Amino acid sequence: MSTANVSRRDFIKQISTGSAGLLMLEPFLRIRETFTSALAAVPSQPQTAEDFIQLRRYYSLADDVIYFNHGSIGTIPKPVQKAHEQYLRVCESNPWLYMWGGEWEEPREEVRRKAAAVLHCQPDEVAITHNTTEAFNLLAQGLPLGPGDEVLFSSINHPGASICWFHHARKHGYTVRRFDFPMARAAKLTEDELLDLYDRQISSKTRVLVFPYLDNMIGVRHPVHKLAKLAKAKGVRYVAVDGAQAVGMLPVSLKPSAVDVFATSPHKWLQAPKGIGLLFVRKSIQSEIHPMWVTWGQERWKGTARIFEDYGTRNMPELLALGDAIAFNMRIAAEKREARLRHLWQFFRQRVLAHPKLEWRSPQHWPISASLYAVEVKGQKSTDVARLLFEKEGFVMRPFATSELNTLRITPNVFCAEEEMERFFAAIDRYF
């Protein structure tokens, strides 16, 4: 059910029968009406590059900032930001009433249904958490693992999906194996080579395979469904995917799929407030995972992924604003969004490949790449380059300085302009 398509009177009848409920819902419905009106003013399904670029005015970014860092923290659209502020204001007008009164349960479940629509799964397979790291901590301590079991992932995994396994392995007795990902040759990597890499690493002991949909360093898009199917064919019991960089950037569908667990952080590409997360847990394995925390809701929510968010007092304003962020994101069809990002990727990649001072360090085939790419400024330290470009030109991007990488990570969104990218190359010529 979408409250945008239901009259105020009908919506109230569906989720409340008491006068107290009416009083509680009135502020909520006013916020929803304001948001719906603001959302209707945002152009949907942009057609041209200029249409996409014009969307920037719906964000609060400073005029002197060129934001190429959506892979770290996304930008909240102004209508979502305003709704979030209003939810917070209403909740604080009577904190006890709006947290525990009960009439906001249906709005919360509406958000869950919206999230399930984005992930293409069932609502009872979605838990609303805090972030991706929380989800992997749940798995590391809650899966039925012990001596003889192996958890496998590569060096390209994010620490939030990796460190927890080492920590909990000491207590539960399972082993953790991390193999080296060939980042040095990522630019020449093919999908078949990527699948073969994991095929050779999975052993008869591998009970859990963890990999990113899209890694956060060089932007390798894993063939999720093919890889999950391969792992299951080799005897892997649980396939867990870090989708923090994917949801809101790329089309995601978890049904049908061999993926068991999928976690994401909507504060990136879904452009939701910070401190909110989404966790998909396939219904068939939900009973096998011990919840990380429990209060009073385990029996009430038994048989759904809701048991994994049973932690009492919660961040209701952020949760409600997540639903609005999803609505804003859906103003652009997923395929149209990907096409725009692919265009920017191709534009930037061709300029890098032709530039004598730059080196492209990400995959060069779009099916295993995305709007997250690594570029090296030859002979320059990436942290120094990032600092100078921010101070002199207002570029915001993330540097990586490791034993394998000396790169700038570029993560533009659909409203980023080709002209901004040209300014990047002009700045490289000017300062280096």
* pLDDT for position 397: 98
Is residue 38 a part of any domain in this protein? Answer: no
Q: Is the dihedral of CA 412, 414, 419, 422 positive or negative?
A: positive
* pLDDT for position 96: 80
CA–CA distance, 395 with 70 (Å, rounded to integer): 12
Q: Quick one: 155 and 244 in the same domain?
A: yes
* pLDDT for position 20: 52
Determine contact, residues 170/151, Cβ cutoff 8 Å: no
Q: How far is CA 253 from CA 132, 244, 332, in A?
A: 18, 14, 17
* pLDDT for position 21: 56
Residue segments in the chain with a per-residue pLDDT below the cut of 50: 1-19
Is residue 150 a part of any domain in this protein? Answer: yes
Q: Quick one: 324 and 245 in the same domain?
A: yes
Is residue 17 a part of any domain in this protein? Answer: no
pTM of the model: 0.93
First vs last C-alpha separation in the chain = 55
Is residue 74 a part of any domain in this protein? Answer: no
Q: Rounded to 5 degrees, what are φ and ψ at 402?
A: -130, -175
Helix and strand numbers, DSSP H then E, in the chain = 14, 13
* pLDDT for position 29: 86
Q: Quick one: 260 and 368 in the same domain?
A: no
Please report, for the domain that includes residue 384, its CATH number.
3.90.1150.10
Please report, for the domain that includes residue 168, its CATH number.
3.40.640.10
pLDDT in tens, 138-188: 999 999 999 999 999 999 999 999 999 999 999 999 999 999 999 999 999
Is residue 42 a part of any domain in this protein? Answer: no
Determine contact, residues 150/179, Cβ cutoff 8 Å: no
Q: Quick one: 314 and 293 in the same domain?
A: yes
> For residue 207, how many other CB atoms are within 10 A of its CB?
20
Q: Quick one: 183 and 313 in the same domain?
A: yes
- Quote the number of domains for the chain: 2
* pLDDT for position 3: 40
Q: How is residue 12 written in tokens?
A: 């109230």
Q: Quick one: 302 and 344 in the same domain?
A: no
Q: Quick one: 318 and 339 in the same domain?
A: no
Q: Quick one: 390 and 242 in the same domain?
A: no
Q: Quick one: 278 and 365 in the same domain?
A: no
Helix 191-201 × helix 224-233 angle, to 10°: 30
- The residues, any chain, with a CB within 8 Å of residue 403's CB and separated by 6 or more, are none
* pLDDT for position 24: 65
Residue 378's domain spans which residues? 334-431
Determine contact, residues 407/374, Cβ cutoff 8 Å: yes
Domain boundary among 312, 329, 346: 329
For 217-370, strand residue ranges (E) read: 238-242, 261-264, 277-281, 358-360
